[in-house]
């Protein structure tokens, strides 16, 4: 029964009087890649931020490896092995690429050279630019850095919030290739995306979030072939 | 080996060390107060410039240190030396007790709350609570430091004690730059969401900044009360807090030379132009506005160096 890495049950999140998440259930098994799809304002980022402790739930439970997270602070959750690469990249622009990566290992006693080498292997652009200040990178390179930084803490679960946001299609490919390599190495990935097609191609399963509720769920194949999903998210005309 | 900054620092140190030999007593007192205010400004910088917390009640911690020494000495007859530890510990304890419940507030909300603390603090002093604070007039006749029958009572003694205090403060600031705490504060300041997702506790490090800042301000307050052998509430009101806040922003947040320049501009320059009386504050206000427009990051903004070496230890 405990092959579930993350189990979210009946989660409610409010912003003041406004209910942003209205009772969702989702789970992620070890080794899986799961994606949450949805339009702007559906509550995707809110869901991720609540899971990683940046926001507090109004009610419901979030269980990670059998431990209840809803009472823990964000920094404690990172130490348990969940790493969140937040929306909008948020790299430290006055630090170099390599320093940003080292910073990702903040919760470890010292950073792991093998992990760093591996990041340079799957994202070679970062190696080329490792002495450069992060603020001088392009948007796509900053996104690579944000992902690399998130895996420096050697997480069991990697949470990615819109990694393709605002990137050129060619860079989206590079990013998704890297996520695939990360997943293949055994890291479980929870991915939020507006680029539904790319996300479903990569993921094993998906959830569709609409106005704070999960409206569809299924394997990626089912979702890709579903009429409703195709119309709403994959741009197919009736 | 010596770089330009190091040379400037050494020249300044030499100048500051020899300053008392060349000036009259009025200017010596200005020099001593400059050193004390610089300590307070650095302690404000830990909270405002490094952790990035908008704190506008710092004169309260400065005042807590000053009044701790004054009350223990004047009302209870403690030796000044014996009041040093409480004058550091009491502001730290107050920082913890007062700030812990409000540390989750953001930016302007926290700023208003800290102003509120400062106002209440002044009310307590002026209303002579428990008959300890001496009311609006404050307390007079604070003793000097005695060690082994020797009195450190002259203005020159005061100057060098303040000089040593600033030295200790600078050492703490330097260590902070190189420590895990200092880096954590820097990350929180730059981007709190990213810092949290790296596993940094906002609450812990912001409180740490407050407690450390309050301790240094308390030590400076104790020195201040001994220098003037008196304390009164107006030296620790919100206007003073605004001055410490402004010193950091005008000089340059998180920059050691910046904070020193800020203290010089905000405190010593008005003394230099004393003959212009209140008109000088007009120039002053204009200068503050111009600094923010022309040099929004301060007169001497900070340059961030490399990640501290201990974090690189894993590297081959």
Q: Measuring CA to CA, how many Å separate A17 from each of A13, A22, A25, A211?
A: 10, 12, 22, 15
Q: How far is A76 from chain B (nearest CA, A)?
A: 7
Residues of A in contact with B316 (CB under 8 A): 113
What is the rounded distance in angstroms from the CA atom of residue B160 to the CA atom of residue B152?
Answer: 10
Q: Look at chain B and report how many structural domains it folds into.
A: 1
B94 or B284: which leads in pLDDT:
B94
DSSP state of B49: I
| CATH number of A90's domain | 3.40.50.300
Of B210, B67, B211, give the one whose Cα is nearest residue B139: B67
First-residue to last-residue Cα distance in chain A: 42
Mean pLDDT, chain B, integer? 88
pLDDT value of residue A236: 64
Confidence of residue B16 (pLDDT cuts 50, 70, 90): confident
What is the rounded distance in angstroms from the CA atom of residue A122 to the CA atom of residue B190?
Answer: 28
The predicted-structure confidence for A127-138, as pLDDT tens digits, reads as follows: 999 999 998 999
pLDDT value of residue B254: 86
A99 to B307: CB separation less than 8 angstroms, yes or no = yes
Cα B106–chain centre separation: 22
Q: Decide if A238 is inside a domain.
A: no
Q: Which of A40-44, A142-146, A163-167 is the most confident on average?
A: A142-146
What is the rounded distance in angstroms from the CA atom of residue B64 to the CA atom of residue B241?
Answer: 13
Q: How far is B191 from chain A (nearest CA, A)?
A: 7
Q: Which residue in chain B is spatially nearest to A48 when comparing CA positions?
A: B197
pLDDT value of residue B2: 54
Q: Are B259 and B247 in contact (CB under 8 A)?
A: yes
B196 to A112: CB separation less than 8 angstroms, yes or no = no
Containing structural domain, residue B82: 27-236
Q: Decide if B48 is inside a domain.
A: yes
Q: Decide if B311 is inside a domain.
A: no
Q: Decide if B105 is inside a domain.
A: yes
B197 to A52: CB separation less than 8 angstroms, yes or no = yes
Q: Decide if A149 is inside a domain.
A: yes
pLDDT over 70, % of chain A: 97
Q: How far is A225 from chain B (nearest CA, A)?
A: 35
Confidence of residue B316 (pLDDT cuts 50, 70, 90): very low
Q: Which residue in chain B is spatially nearest to A117 when comparing CA positions?
A: B315
B194 to A91: CB separation less than 8 angstroms, yes or no = yes
Q: Decide if B154 is inside a domain.
A: yes
Residues of A in contact with B183 (CB under 8 A): 103
Q: How far is A50 from chain B (nearest CA, A)?
A: 12
Q: Which of A55, A87, A92, A115 to mutate to test the interface with B (most CBs of B within 10 A)?
A: A92
Q: How far is B201 from chain A (nearest CA, A)?
A: 5
pLDDT value of residue B129: 84
B199 to A79: CB separation less than 8 angstroms, yes or no = yes
B304 to A95: CB separation less than 8 angstroms, yes or no = yes
B197 to A111: CB separation less than 8 angstroms, yes or no = no
Q: Which residues of B237-252 are buried (b: 16+ CB within 10 A; e: fewer)?
A: bbebbbbbbbbbbbbb
pLDDT over 90, % of chain B: 58
Of A144, A70, A86, give the one whose Cα is nearest residue B192: A86
Q: Look at chain A and report how many structural domains it folds into.
A: 1
What is the rounded distance in angstroms from the CA atom of residue B134 to the CA atom of residue B97?
Answer: 25
- H or E stretch at A208: strand A205-210
What is the rounded distance in angstroms from the CA atom of residue B162 to the CA atom of residue B219?
Answer: 10
Q: Decide if B36 is inside a domain.
A: yes
Confidence of residue A2 (pLDDT cuts 50, 70, 90): low
Assign residue A64 a region (left: φ > 0; alpha: ψ between -120 and 50; beta: otherwise).
beta
B314 to A110: CB separation less than 8 angstroms, yes or no = yes
Q: How far is A71 from chain B (nearest CA, A)?
A: 14
B197 to A83: CB separation less than 8 angstroms, yes or no = yes
The predicted-structure confidence for A54-84, as pLDDT tens digits, reads as follows: 999 999 999 999 999 988 999 999 999 999 9
Q: Decide if B79 is inside a domain.
A: yes
Confidence of residue A237 (pLDDT cuts 50, 70, 90): low
Q: Decide if B132 is inside a domain.
A: yes
- Interface contact A56, partner B, CB < 8 A: no
ipTM of model: 0.79
pLDDT value of residue A238: 55
Question: B253 by DSSP, 3-state: which?
Answer: coil
Q: Which residue in chain A is spatially nearest to B308 when comparing CA positions?
A: A99
What is the rounded distance in angstroms from the CA atom of residue A78 to the CA atom of residue A65?
Answer: 13
The predicted-structure confidence for A99-119, as pLDDT tens digits, reads as follows: 899 988 888 878 889 999 999
The predicted-structure confidence for B93-119, as pLDDT tens digits, reads as follows: 999 999 999 999 988 999 999 999 999
Confidence of residue B312 (pLDDT cuts 50, 70, 90): very low
Q: Are B270 and B280 in contact (CB under 8 A)?
A: yes
The predicted-structure confidence for B135-176, as pLDDT tens digits, reads as follows: 999 999 999 888 887 888 888 999 999 999 999 999 999 899
Q: Decide if B221 is inside a domain.
A: yes
What are B150's strand-pairing partners? B147
Residues of A in contact with B200 (CB under 8 A): 75, 106
pLDDT over 90, % of chain A: 69
Assign residue B229 a region (left: φ > 0; alpha: ψ between -120 and 50; beta: otherwise).
left
Of A80, A54, A72, give the one whose Cα is nearest residue A154: A80
- Interface contact B146, partner A, CB < 8 A: no
What is the rounded distance in angstroms from the CA atom of residue B170 to the CA atom of residue B168?
Answer: 5
Q: Decide if A180 is inside a domain.
A: yes
Containing structural domain, residue A46: 4-233
């Amino acid at each position: 029964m405990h092959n579930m890495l993350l189990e979210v049950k009946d989660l409610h999140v409010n912003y003041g009087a406004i209910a942003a998440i209205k009772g969702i259930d989702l789970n992620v098994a070890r080794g899986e890649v799961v994606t949450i799809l949805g339009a702007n304002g559906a509550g995707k980022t809110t869901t991720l931020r609540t899971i990683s402790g940046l926001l507090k739930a109004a009610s419901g439970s979030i269980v990670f490896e059998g431990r209840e997270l809803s009472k823990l602070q964000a920094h404690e959750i990172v130490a348990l092995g969940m790493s969140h690469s937040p929306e909008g990249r948020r790299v430290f622009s006055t630090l170099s690429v390599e320093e940003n990566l080292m910073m990702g290992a903040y919760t470890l006693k010292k950073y792991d050279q093998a992990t760093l080498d591996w990041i340079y292997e799957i994202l070679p652009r970062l190696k080329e630019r490792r002495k450069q200040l992060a603020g001088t990178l392009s948007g796509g390179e900053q996104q690579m850095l944000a992902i690399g930084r998130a895996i420096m803490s050697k997480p069991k679960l990697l949470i990615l919030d819109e990694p393709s946001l605002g990137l050129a299609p060619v860079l989206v490919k590079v990013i998704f290739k890297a996520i695939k390599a990360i997943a293949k190495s055994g890291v479980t990935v929870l991915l939020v995306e507006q680029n539904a097609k790319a996300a479903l191609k990569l993921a094993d399963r998906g959830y569709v979030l609409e106005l704070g509720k999960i409206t569809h769920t299924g394997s990626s194949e089912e979702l890709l072939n579903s009429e409703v999903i195709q119309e709403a998210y994959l741009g197919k005309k009736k | 080996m010596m770089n330009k900054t190091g040379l400037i620092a050494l020249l300044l140190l030499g100048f500051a060390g020899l300053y008392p030999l060349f000036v009259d007593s009025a200017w010596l007192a200005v020099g001593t107060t400059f050193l004390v205010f610089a300590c307070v400004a650095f302690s404000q910088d830990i909270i405002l410039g490094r952790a990035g917390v908008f704190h506008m009640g710092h004169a309260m911690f400065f005042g807590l240190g000053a009044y701790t020494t004054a009350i223990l000495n004047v009302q209870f007859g403690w030796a000044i030396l014996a009041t040093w530890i409480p004058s550091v510990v009491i502001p730290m304890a107050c920082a913890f007790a007062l700030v812990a419940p409000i540390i989750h507030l953001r930016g302007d909300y926290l700023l208003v709350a800290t102003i509120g603390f400062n106002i209440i603090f002044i009310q307590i002093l002026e209303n002579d609570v428990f008959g300890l604070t001496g009311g609006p007039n404050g307390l007079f006749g604070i003793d000097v430091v005695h060690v082994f029958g020797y009195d450190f009572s002259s203005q020159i003694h005061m100057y060098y004690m303040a000089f040593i205090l600033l030295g200790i403060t600078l050492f703490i600031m330097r260590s902070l730059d190189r420590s895990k705490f200092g880096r954590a504060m820097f990350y929180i300041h730059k981007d709190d969401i990213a810092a949290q997702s790296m596993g940094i506790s906002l609450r812990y490090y912001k409180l740490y900044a407050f407690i450390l800042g309050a301790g240094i301000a308390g030590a400076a307050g104790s020195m201040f009360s001994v220098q003037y052998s008196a304390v009164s509430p107006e030296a620790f009101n919100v206007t003073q807090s605004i001055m410490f806040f402004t010193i950091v922003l005008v000089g340059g947040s998180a920059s050691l030379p910046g904070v020193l320049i800020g203290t010089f501009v905000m405190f010593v320059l008005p003394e230099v132009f004393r003959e212009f009386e209140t008109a000088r504050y007009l120039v002053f206000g204009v200068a503050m506005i111009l600094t923010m427009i022309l040099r929004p990051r301060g007169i001497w903004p900070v340059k961030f160096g490399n990640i501290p070496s201990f974090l690189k230890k894993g590297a081959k």
